[in-house]
Structure 1
Amino acid sequence: MGQCYGKTNLAPENDATAATTDETTAVVARSGEVPPSPLPGKGTPPRDSLWSSPYPHGGGGVTPSPARGTPRRFFRRPFPPPSPAKHIRASLAKRLGHAKAAPKEGPIPEEEAAAAAAERSLDKSFGYGKNFGAKFEIGKEVGRGHFGHTCYAKGKKGELKDQPVAIKIISKAKMTTAIAIEDVRKEVKILKALSGHKHLIKFHDAFEDGNNVYIVMELCEGGELLDRILSRGGKYSEEDAKVIVLQILSVVAFCHLQGVVHRDLKPENFLYTSRSEDADMKLIDFGLSDFIRPDERLNDIVGSAYYVAPEVLHRSYSLEADIWSIGVITYILLCGSRPFYARTESGIFRAVLRADPNFDDLPWPTASAEAKDFVKRLLNKDYRKRMTAVQALTHPWLRDDSRPIPLDILIFKLVKAYLHATPFKRAAVKALSKALPEDQLPYHSAQFRMLEPNRDGHISLDNFKMALLRNATDAMRESRVLEIINTMEPLAYRKMDFEEFCAATISTHQLEAHEWWEDIASTAFEHFEREGNRLISVEELARELNLGPSAYSVLKDWIRNTDGKLSLLGYTKFLHGVTLRSSNPRQHR
């Protein structure tokens, strides 16, 4: 699908090694290789700045196309992959219907006939308006990709009369799989449902005829964020980087609250509204996005190689995958290099899974401690330890007390867990909240204010319900985010003050990401010893953690022989609880 802004087309449609300006296109190159840029002439040495490897073994730099800073997109697998680092060309062919990319032995004629019949049976009717030609006059083409192309256009009548817009023209002939059709349908649904954020591309309408789907959106003529990164040689000052990161976090926090995970955040998918230096950015390309319920985990592998989160490759992920991608973007802005680099796609995946970002080489030794901590807390391989987009907005590197902070869906998840916890567990987290680091308090204070406490300084279930409704769009209803209120029913019969709210909305895993976690845990344990620690048997502790007798031998080491109470080790282990993988991961339609 073409992008919604004016940009010179740099790659022909059938060039298998060139990048395209198509939002949902896959770049198919020689097996496993990162395609070189089509721009430099023969013999041009690779640049050593923006895209050079931070790893000693990475070889020289690779110059990407300014239109695409990733080697290729990779797409959903309908079956478990043998390894997350295997080349995915075959699954790409399955998604897009490329027979030539199928296994070498190929289908027998009967299978080919069956595949052709299946394609003919696909329902390519979307129910969109049929009068596109009467409403818009199409101008020049500005981008082309696998599914179609993007054009300038101008409204001929109606609300958009004489207004310039961007038209994504998506070829129905190239929708050869049910997944491809569903991608188009879902992208329009998400764009239509999300509304009201200044950094989100504005959707106007969708149309169709026998040949194409037409998506009408606002025109952004300032180019991609990637173009500006390249024009600067790849490095931003911290102050300039903050301006960009704030806009990214703001719109992603909005999407996450609405129950939408983008799944393809990268510099190519942020467009500037104009060529002005202070122009706003807009998030585009929801072709790989999806609605997600608060406690849901997805399992289909999608995204772009350099920006993909480890848990996506492990096929169990949620909103935190977007946060990882923001961490990659921020790393690039601050130092001009990718944090994870290799010359092949499988090498990139291995680096994402196993390697740590380089914070030793220039310019990191001269970067502020806050900037480094910010990036590290986004690029934590344990998704439970990453900040949310809203928490990142209150991080010391970005904090501005005069800037309003949005509502965070995380507080609803944590309060729900707190309400269903045992009294002993609630006592443990209350002690932990009293050791809360100073830099965490602005986040909790802002979220408590968003709930608009009653005059007596307390909140109830109604406060949570009204806070969600005030921020609801059609996307929130589609993703069923509002249903989380039903799981918070115990709060209907009681109230919560700020102190208890802090205890309820604290994340042990996130605190563990702090360098001074041991000090936090020790201080919390002192409070717990005075106020909540009590005699507990191994059997009772196992019941608290929902464990069977096989765990008794481990749990007995958590309890002191002297008085039968939890030790410091037992307290910290108890706070973590037991993480159970979902036994029913969502299968994609």
Structure 2
Amino acid sequence: MGGCHGKQMQNPEFQEEESLQIPNARQPTPAPGTPQQGKFPFCSPSPLPGSYKNSPANSSVTSTPLRFLKRPFPPPSPAKHIRALLARRYGSVKPNEASIPEGSEVEVGLDKNFGFSKQFFSKFELGEEVGRGHFGYTCSGKVKKGDMKGQEVAVKVIPKAKMTTAISVEDARREVRILSSLAGHKNLVRFYDAYEDEDNVYIVMELCNGGELLERILLRGGKYSEEDAKAVIVQILSVVSFCHLQGVVHRDLKPENFLFTSGDEKSTLKAIDFGLSDFVKPDERLNDIVGSAYYVAPEVLHRSYGTEADMWSIGVIAYILLCGSRPFWARTESGIFRAVLKAEPSFDDPPWPSLSSQAKDFVKKLLNKDYRKRMTAAQALCMFLTILIILEAEHELVNYYNQPISGHPWLRNPEEAKIPLDIMIYKLIKAYICSSSLRKSALRALAKTLKVNQLYYLREQFALLGPNKSGYISLQNLKMALLNDSTEAMKDSKVLDFVNMVSSLQYRKLDFEEFAAAAISVHQMEALDTWEQHARQGYEFFEKDGNRPIMIDELASELGLSPSVPIHVVLQDWIRHSDGKLSLLGFVKLLHGVSSRRQC
């Protein structure tokens, strides 16, 4: 479990279920693995390559950490291979009963000196155990001397005897590094210091006495009201967006890993347990399988993921908060994984029909199996703040860039949901700058179709980058804006290196109109129900302003296609035979194109 922890709550009503103790758990209705296609034949989705308290009596289904050596598992039963490799990595197939493995499984000569202070017991008094996790346990404690004398704290104790591999040693070292470098966010557990002796590592943090989010769900009869769920989700999104901007992916988000600071109904929620967290660059993909079965994202099982995996977990949490059931459920780990990969969550059973369309839309946008179409944390916060404007005339052309915006109805406390800088903006701007002039024209045309709620997010991001009085930003603005929010974690995650590389590119200043074109996510646009309308309307703008006769060889060069590719076969449908200009199909494909003319 996490660093600070509430008391374990005994509730016999929920003890019979063998996994996460949420009532009304059910198996979702199987659905096709891919969403239904729209009218465009070329707009189909792009292909994609625990328990409530960790009781030893519970099945490993409940809280399997799923740490994995870098070797793919064969499909039908990933759970069996996860357990086997977990045993090799940590010395036990049961995460709560890890022990020193025998024989050659123990790595000889491991350096278990962390360089932490060895004065723990001279400064702290260790109290009773308040929580137990995968590879350690958490106790209450009290400060014996100094400015904090008498203050209660939480102490996560990680036995060195359980660190049987170099990876497990690095996991503990990285957890301390992440906690110590991520500082200053009100929804993040406060880190005080780390200590060690011959037997243990001690991580000292603030003590949260309000219990787990999971306990609150149970006390409320298994679910939150829609209004109360908003306040919880806003806090989760706020801290996760902060972590993602710093280049930290949590990888084990679940109700057990969020604690309230006190028993008050409006007490602050804190994210805990960074034992499975890692640093990740904006353009990097991780490949080791970690997390808890019910909350693991599809791309994690595919062994290629980034910060988007956390957003899937938040979608699962939001689903549970609102209806009291898991979106993906089975009695075995293999069944859970199959459901995550193949099934679609149900929004037909009560209470979903009685919930707002905004709440359902929010959850659906997070539980998109294609991670590229999933909302970021900053976008999800923005969704709370925007309202969908339904136009009287569906195809009416309006200049939305200066239209005012009103607050989203699915928000409880707007002041708590300050929209943070979104690192995805940096990735999209880099891709835009490296694109061909033809693709830039296509993106500018598509950006003109954006509605008020979509432009609100982009306007907020643009403002955070600090445009000058003339309304322009340079690439140096990207760097300066990020430095304003940077922590030490950015150095370890190499986020600053990525941004320095982007800001060093030679490119003219961007006004908001071009920024909107650069920062638009085509994949996310494709996930909208209105995608076909956006594409056709964008093509109309492109016809007026950017379309021109183009040779197939030129288009192939624009897209960076290899000479070995049968170009005429691949691209002949992209160009209208009547005038040699790009067709609607070619326009949509071009939006995804990658140019080789500029190397970034």
TM-score of the superposed pair, with normalisation by structure 2: 0.84
TM-superposed deviation, 1:269: 0.4
1:152-171 residue pairs with structure 2 within 5 A?
152-171=140-159
Deviation string, structure 1 residues 55-82 (Cα, Å, up to 9, x no partner)? 3589xxxx95456894422112232222
Shift of 1:491: 5.7
In structure 2, the residue matched to 1:8 is 8
Residue of structure 2 in register with 1:266 after alignment: 254
Q: Which is worse superposed, 232-241 or 245-254?
A: 232-241
Partner amino acid, structure 1, of 2:542? F
* SS at 1:167 equivalent: strand
- Structure 2: distance between partners of 1:40 and 1:257: 37
Match of 1:177 among 165, 172, 185: 165
Query: How far apart, CA to CA, are the structure 1 residues paired with 2:211 and 2:94?
Result: 34
CA-based RMSD of the aligned residues comes to 2.7
Structure 2 CA distance for partners of 1:100 and 1:313, relative to 1, 3 Å = closer
- State the match for 1:463 in structure 2: 477
* Correspondence for 2:26 among 21, 42, 53: 53
| Partner Cα separation in structure 1 for residue 162 and residue 493 of structure 2 | 29
- 2:75 is matched with 83
Q: How many Å separate the matches in 1 of 2:518 and 2:67? A: 38
Among 276, 280, 283, the residue aligned to 1:288: 276
Query: What is the 5 A alignment of 1:369-408?
Result: 369-395=357-383, 396=386, 398=410, 403-408=417-422
> Given the superposition, is the C-alpha separation of residues 426 and 224 from structure 1 closer, same or farther in structure 2, using an over 3 Å criterion?
same
In structure 1, C-alpha distance between the alignment counterparts of 2:102 and 2:361, rounded to whole Å: 55
Query: Hey, what's the Cα distance between the residues in 2 that align with 1:259 and 1:530?
Result: 41
Residue-pair matches, total: 538
Q: Which amino acid aligns with 2:183?
A: S
Query: For residue 570 of structure 1, what is the amino acid of its counterpart?
Result: G
Classify 1:391/1:144 alpha carbon distance in 2 versus 1 (closer, same or farther; 3 Å).
closer
Q: Residues 511, 41 of structure 1: CA spacing in aligned structure 2 closer, same or farther, 3 A cutoff?
A: closer
Other-structure match for 1:425: 439
Q: Would you say 1:123 and 2:80 are equivalent positions? A: no
For residue 531 of structure 1, the aligned residue among 531, 545, 550 is 545
Contact 2:9 2:215 in 1 (8 A): no
CA contact (8 A) 2:135 2:162 kept: yes
Match of 1:558 in 2: 574
Aligned to 2:303: 315
Q: Whole-Å Cα distance in 2 between the matches of residues 41 and 242 of structure 1?
A: 28
Q: Which residue of 2 aligns with 1:495?
A: 509
Q: Tell me the CA shift for residue 274 of structure 1.
A: 0.4
- Is 1:190 the counterpart of 2:178? The answer is yes
In 2, the alpha carbon distance for the partners of 1:72 and 1:409 equals: 30
Partner of 1:74: 66
| Map of 1:30 onto structure 2 | none
What does residue 510 of structure 1 align with?
524
- Other structure's SS at 1:130 match: coil
CA distance in 2: counterparts of 1:186 and 1:405, whole angstroms = 28
The verdict on how the C-alpha distance between 1:57 and 1:357 changes in structure 2, with shifts beyond 3 A counting, is: closer
Shift of 1:489: 4.3
Tell me the residue number matched to 1:22. none
Deviation at 1:141, TM superposition (A): 1.9
Closer, same or farther: CA 476–490 of 1 in aligned 2, 3 Å: closer
Residue identity in the other structure for 2:203: I
Letter matched to residue 8 of structure 1: Q
Consecutive unaligned residues of structure 1, counting only runs of 5 or more, are 11-36, 102-110, 581-589
Q: Deviations over 1:376-411 (max 9, x none)?
A: 111111111011000011114546776531111011
Partner of 1:484: 498
Of residues 391-400 and 499-508 in structure 1, the stretch that sits farther from structure 2 once superposed is 391-400
The answer to whether the 8 A contact 1:151-1:166 is kept is: yes
Structure 2 letter corresponding to 1:152? S
| CA separation of 1:224 and 1:186: change in aligned 2, threshold 3 A | same
Q: Gaps spanning 5+ residues in structure 2: where? A: 32-49, 56-60, 96-100, 387-407
User: Measured at CA, do residues 356 and 470 of structure 1 come closer, stay the same or move farther in structure 2, by a change above 3 Å?
Assistant: same
Give the structure 2 partner of residue 104 of structure 1.
Answer: none
The answer to whether the aligner puts 1:409 opposite 2:423 as a matched pair is yes
1:248 counterpart (215, 233, 236): 236
Cα deviation 1:15-49 (Å, max 9, x = unaligned): xxxxxxxxxxxxxxxxxxxxxx987678x999997
User: 1:349-379 deviations in whole A, cap 9, x for unaligned?
Assistant: 0000001110111122222111111111111
CA distance in structure 2 between the aligned counterparts of 1:57 and 1:48, rounded to whole angstroms: 23
CA distance in 1, matches of 2:185, 2:448: 36
Name the CA distance, whole Å, in 1 between partners of 2:8 and 2:585. Answer: 60
Contact 1:419 1:488 (C-alpha < 8 Å) held by counterparts: no
Q: Which amino acid aligns with 1:73?
A: P
Alpha-carbon spacing, 1:292–1:429, altered in 2? closer, same or farther (3 Å): same
